Structure formats: structure tokens, C-alpha cells
Structure 1
Amino acid sequence: MKTCIDSEIGKLEGVVIHTPGSEVENMTPGYAERALYSDILNLSIALNEYSQLVGVLKKITQVFDIKKMLAEILDNRVVKMQLLREICNHEGIPGMEGALAENDASTLAGLLIEGVILERNNLTNYLSPEKFLLRPLHNLFFTRDSAMGMNGKMLIGRMANPVRERETMIMEAIFNNHPAFETDTLNPIKPIHGIPVDAKATLEGGDFQVIRDNIYVIGKGVRTSTQGIDFIIENIKRQGRGTHHIIVQELPSVPESFIHLDMVFTCLDVDTCMVYEPVVYGLSRFKTISIQIDNGKVKIDEQPNITKALKKLGIDLKPVVCGGNEDPWVQEREQWHSGANFFAFEPGKIIGYERNVHTLEELNKNGFEIFRASDIISGKVNTDNYRKCVVTIAGSELARGGGGARCMTMPVCRANVNW
């Protein structure tokens, strides 16, 4: 599959996921904050809910699983040793790659994701408060953040927190070596001709949205820095072809439900978007910046909000309000549980949590039919028969991890959109 992401809403042709495993439960309440969780999850319940998402995706597109693909590339000894050296050097355990490499590919893939227990075989290890030599990747099932499609390339994330950096190494190794994909990768921390490496550059997929092939909306907040956005600008300048536009939305640093742009703004259709009104439209000090890159030249100015900035570029999106229009308390509650975080698998066809009932009512008022995931999986409902629809998945446990349907999916290929 040749990777191609030229929009947020084009018909989905391929998506990367990771089914949560023991890494999700390998934490204590005291460790949850360091692992970027607000609470610890019950894996058995989370898996039941996650299976609804996977079941729907398998009905509508080709699904790629990270753990399976990782095991497949680890069968190549050159790839295996290169990835292990990179991971071990980064994690401060150089020389451990030899011992890890003795495991078969499937076992090793599990260890790199679920963690390697620290052996108490010397005084330092015996007294260490850590349980793991290699910590589990608690956040890997939020596949959106570690890599993102940017037109025909895959942009490797530069994570704001060290606990997630191994995710990007795994994803870069997969995109560079797995035969399922034909793509080029861009990495903010690896030298590219003419583009300096900036140690302050961070960039996560939850903040990155491709609206059209030459228009991007990017959130600037606690996870994505201005230097990370500058890396994208420099890459576009380096191409030196045509006009591109980046709309940058500043995000609040608190509460933690605002960690990414897709927690307050997502595209639903060619003419519709989902917004968390207090951030996108509310009177605040958070700026919306418009950046035009025209054949290598950059022009920057300020805009009133995202939708007005997009309208100036010919994309007129009607906002649907997360939590409805009546009660700001309801808006706040539903945004906290990823009420604005929808994933489009076709124009006007989206997936989200069933718990956000006021948001779903607002979507229904705007012409979206609402169906449960079980109806899609069983074949009772065929989304091809509807122009606009919402497929709802259970989210009593998954939502407590801090993300929604968009967070848990990494599209690698979408069809073109008829704008």
C-alpha cells in the first residue's frame, strides 16, 4: 500500500491500530501520572470496548496491527539489531541488545511493547524502585500520535514525554522496513539536508490534521511545540512547489483533556466539523495563526478562529458543538471524555463514543444517523446506505485513558475527496 493522506475525511483504505495488552495494566496508581494516564484501566473491560472499534474498522477497510508487523520486521536480523541498538541506547541500557536479540521475533515484539522486567541481580537493581528495565508502552494503543500521514509521506512523531519515545522508533522501523507499505518517512530529530535539528521540536499526531492536500491545521500546546511546527514549515519550503497553508491553534495547557487539537476540533465532512466551543470560539488569549508558504516564502498573520481561517481558503465548515449548545457544564463533561474526538472513515461517516449523548443528539439534529457498532459488525446496518452517520462504540473504560476514536487510529491511506 502506498501511503497517502490528503484529507481527514477521505474514504479510509488502510489504518494502523494496536490492541491494548498487558502494558495497559502494568502500572500502579502512583505510576499512572508518569505514564500520562489520569487513572488506571481495567484491561478486560477496555478490550471489550476496543473490540467494537476494531470490528467496525475491519468491516470498512484494511487493518494493520502494530505488534504483528513489528514481529514480522524483527525476523530480519539486520533490522532487529538496528532497532534494538537504537532503543537500548536511548533507554540508557547500551549492550542489552544482544540479550534481547536471543528471543524469537514474536516474543521480542511483546517485550518491546509490554516491557522487560528488571532482574534483581546486583545491588543497584535490587534497590531500584523500578519494576521494569524497559518500561511498558502504556499509550501505544493511541496509535495516532507516533506517526502521521502527510500527503504521500509518513511524518514520524517527536513525543513530548520520554515515556512515549520508543513508540516512534517502532513506527519508523515498521514504515521503513515492512513490505506492506511504500512510503518515505520524515523525522524531526534526524538530519535532513538543509533543515537543522532542533532539540525543542515536538510533534504528535493528535495535533496534526490534513484538511486538504495543501492545507493543514496544527495544534500548538503541551505536546506539539512551535519548533515542531517550524520543522513542517521548513519541509514545505524545501519542496518549493506551489502554495501551502498551515493554521496553528494555540491550546490551553490545562486541563489534560486539551492535550491535543483533536480533543477540541475534528473534521466530519466536506462541510461539517466538530468543535469544543469554549476553546475554538470562546473569548480567550489562545491565538489562531495563519501561515502561508508560497514557493518557499512564508507569510504569517492572525485569524479569529479555525473555521474562519479555513473559509478564507475555500473550505466552509459548519460547526457542530461538542456537548450541545445549551449547557457549558455538559460541554465540559463531554469534552473531558473525548466528545469532540471523532474519526471519519468516509466524508460524513464517523466513529465516536456512545457515552457522549448530548454530542450525539447535536449530530443527529445536523443530519447524522446514529448506529451502534454491533449493528455494523453484525451486518444489520450497512453504512453504504447512508449519506451521514455516526457509529458509536462503548467508552466507559477506554475514555478514561484520555482519548477517543481518532486517537486510537493511524490512517495510512485515504481516497481523494470531491470538494
Structure 2
Amino acid sequence: MSEKLNVNVASEFGELEGVIVHTPGLEVEEMTPETAKRALYSDILNLAVAGKEYQQMKGVLSKASRCFEVKDLLSDVLTNDIVRQTLLQEICTAEGALDILPALLEIQSDELARQLIQGVPIKRDNLTRYLSQERFSLAPLHNFLFTRDASMAFRDEVVIGKMANKVRDREAMIMETIFKNHPMLEAKTINPFQPNELMTGKNRMIEGGDFQVAREDVLVIGTGIRTSTEGIDFILDAIKAKKEKVHHVLIQELPDMPESFIHLDMVFTFLDRDACMVYEPLILGTNRYHTIHIQIENGEVTSISEEKNLPKALKKLGIDLKPIQCGGTKDIWTQEREQWHSGANFLAIAPGQVIGYERNVNTVEELNKNGFEVIKAEDYISGKATLPKDGKCVITIAGSELARGGGGARCMSMPFRRKKVEW
């Protein structure tokens, strides 16, 4: 535990050196058709199947990088009495559950970490709780397998997510507590939520699925139902405060519907220095959704302009990417079907080496046509296949059940350390 891992992310595709994940557990099964919508799901996952599929992704990440579980990191920091008191006070206050605070303080760290994720069962010891229709005093965190959203690393800092839905606020509290207090991690945290700004900051939202690091001086951020313009303005203010020479922020507007457009990484992800995955109708097609370029220099916004699309805007900044189309190029219906099941959502473990769902066969075929060797996750994990030393590849993971949760490999991972990319 004495080794320190500094947070350092200056691209979406530098070789992965540290990543945080959360293996889905009982919190996924504590969902009914009635509560699914409240939990932001459109369907109920089969944990037995989803868990096996998830192990393929975690197996790849564990072989390629140092891989850490949220629950383990949380359990570590909860051994500190001050950290425990502070986090539980914050959670119970926010969720109107101060009556259970004394009991929570007495629970062992490992069990407490489990309950904070999987739910604190309601104790029916008075009339109100006896008659309550709720099963939990603190609800399960059904969405925590999508660890990308609650925190996002940029260079040596971690931006804490300001979640669009209150049911996910506890995820951000937990991730901030981990990054601020775990003895293994070295990072400065930046939190858009400030208790004294309850009114002025109420529209400030930003989630990691909308936040992508193109280069040390270039961010790409989506704005839609999960990340607001006020949330992006907060990021702009944080950049301005550094008073650095030149920094660029590219903003992509997203539609409110369908729900598969929930984040930017559902329609656009980086694959390498020279390639990106796109959902063509939104990213390259003619539509009414703006692509904005904001330039910041020495603490001031020096220009705001509109661009034709993200790849063209990035090319102007020296990042020349070939767009590879989610769902292939033959049929718009196929593109729509595969985008719906996270066909554009890829996680890079190194330049040109990415993880995605095998179910999106047309997307995988399109990658293969563009020089990406196709490797099954189980073959890589077992040693039957190796990654090309200097070549591109797509590692395919099973996703018949996981994809129904509404996210892919990028959604289900929170990289906090990557090697520097040579441009």
C-alpha cells in the first residue's frame, strides 16, 4: 500500500496503467419492473449472465493494466474514522436518512462498503418503517457498474461528476472520498457541486460519459440530458484559472432522444491517434446539433466558433482522425441497431487497441476492414492469443446481457492513469 499512483490522463488512448471498475453485484438484482425506471434502466438485467460477461472485460483490463474495484478501495478508506464519519454524514444528510447514521458507524468497513453500494436494508422497528413500501433506507446503486460517470481524470486532476439524477449522487460522493483519501492514489479533486451554491449551481451537471481527453490541451465534451452547458462552463472556468498558454474545448450537442444518445461516448470514441469510432448520422451527417470550438488562452476565452463536425474540428488542431462507422456503411437501420447496443462505445487500452462488444458484428467487421485484428477476450485472457506489438486490434467481449444496461466498455471503466502518447 506504500506505492503511490499519481493520476495522469492526457489522452483517451495512451497505454492504460490504472483503471477502476465495479463488478455488478446484488444491487443489479434489487430491481423490479416498477423501480427500473427510477433506477434509470429500461430493462432488468440477469446478473448471472451479466456477471459472466463482465468478467471477460475485467479479465482483459486486469491483464493489460492495474485494475482496482470500487468496493475494495472504499473499504480501505472507511477504516479511517474521520473519513467514515464525514462520508456517512454527507450521504445520510443528502438522502434524508440521518436516523440510521449511528448504526452505520458501527458496521465493519468491508460490510459497510458493500451496503453503501448494494443498499442498506430498512429496519422495520417503528410504524412508519413497518408500513413503508421501500425495502432500503439507502437504495442500491444500480448504475455503479458504469464507473465512468461519477469521476473523470484529466492530467493530474479528477473532476467529480455532478450527476444529472439524484439516484446517482452517492456514486460521486464515494469516488471523491476514494480519490481524496486513499493512500495509494495521488490526485487533486475538482467538484462542481458546492453546498453553498445550491441555487446558482443547480443546473450544473457533468458526467464522465460526456468527457473525453483528446490531447493534453484538447478536451471534447458532449452536452445533452446528462451534461449541461453550465457544467461545461464550470470546466472552462477551471481551465481559465490555470492561466496556461492555449487550451481547446470542443463541444458536441446531443439529442434528448433516443435514450441511447445519453452520452457523447455512445456516438463518438477515440480509437487511436489517427482513428475514431462514430455514429455517422449524428457526428458526420447533416443535422441541427452544434459542434462548438472554444479556445482559452492565458485565463481568457479568446474565441468561440462553430465547426462542421468533431473530426474536422480535431483535424484543425492537428489530430487527424479517420472516422470508422458504427454499424458499418451499408444500412442505416443496422447502424441504429448497433448504436443502440453501445456499438460506438469503445475503451482503448493502448493506441489502436480497443475493447468492445462482439454482438455488434457489423461494427467489428468495419474495424477489421480498417486494419484492426479481431481477438476474442477469452483467447487473450487464456493466453491463446496475444495482442499485436505495434498493430491495431479490437478485443471483443460478450455483451448479450450487459449491453441491455445501456453502456459499453468505456462506460464500465474509469481510467485514472495512462502513459504519455507520442504524437
Shorter-chain TM-score tier: over 0.9
Alignment pair present for 1:118 and 2:133: no
* Equivalent residue runs for 1:254-269 within 5 Å: 254-269=257-272
Alignment pair present for 1:188 and 2:192: yes
1:385 and 1:78 map into 2 onto residues whose CA distance is: 47
- What amino acid is aligned across from residue 141 of structure 1 in structure 2? L
2:27 and 2:280 map into 1 onto residues whose CA distance is: 35
**Equivalent residue in structure 2 for 1:385, among 386, 389, 414:** 389
1:374 and 1:189 map into 2 onto residues whose CA distance is: 41
**Equivalent residue in structure 2 for 1:414, among 413, 418, 421:** 418
**Equivalent residue in structure 1 for 2:231, among 228, 233, 238:** 228
* Equivalent residue runs for 1:11-410 within 5 Å: 11-190=15-194, 198-298=201-301, 299-410=303-414
1:374 and 1:32 map into 2 onto residues whose CA distance is: 31
Residue 15 of structure 1: SS of its match in structure 2? strand
2:61 and 2:390 map into 1 onto residues whose CA distance is: 17
Residue 306 of structure 2: SS of its match in structure 1? strand
Q: Assess if the C-alpha contact under 8 Å between 1:190 and 1:197 holds in 2.
A: no
Residue 396 of structure 1: SS of its match in structure 2? coil
- What amino acid is aligned across from residue 38 of structure 1 in structure 2? S
TM-aligned CA distance change 1:116 to 1:340, over 3 Å: same
1:219 and 1:128 map into 2 onto residues whose CA distance is: 40
Q: Which moved more, 1:144-153 or 1:90-99?
A: 90-99
Q: Which moved more, 1:381-390 or 1:363-372?
A: 381-390
- What amino acid is aligned across from residue 418 of structure 2 in structure 1? R
Q: Which moved more, 1:276-285 or 1:261-270?
A: 276-285
Displacement of 1:383: 1.1
Aligned length: 417
Residue 247 of structure 1: SS of its match in structure 2? strand
- What amino acid is aligned across from residue 296 of structure 2 in structure 1? I
1:260 and 1:129 map into 2 onto residues whose CA distance is: 33
**TM-score normalised by the chain length of structure 1:** 0.98
Q: Assess if the C-alpha contact under 8 Å between 1:12 and 1:414 holds in 2.
A: yes
Q: Which runs of 5+ in 2 are unaligned?
A: none
Q: Assess if the C-alpha contact under 8 Å between 1:188 and 1:197 holds in 2.
A: no
Residue 98 of structure 2: SS of its match in structure 1? coil
Cα deviation 1:329-361 (Å, max 9, x = unaligned): 000000000000000010000000000000001
**TM-score normalised by the chain length of structure 2:** 0.97
2:195 and 2:117 map into 1 onto residues whose CA distance is: 27
Residue 44 of structure 1: SS of its match in structure 2? helix
1:229 and 1:252 map into 2 onto residues whose CA distance is: 17
- Calculate the aligned-residue CA RMSD, in Å: 1.4
Displacement of 1:385: 3.1
Displacement of 1:95: 4.1
1:119 and 1:387 map into 2 onto residues whose CA distance is: 56
- What amino acid is aligned across from residue 76 of structure 2 in structure 1? E
Displacement of 1:104: 0.4
Q: Which runs of 5+ in 1 are unaligned?
A: none
- What amino acid is aligned across from residue 278 of structure 2 in structure 1? V
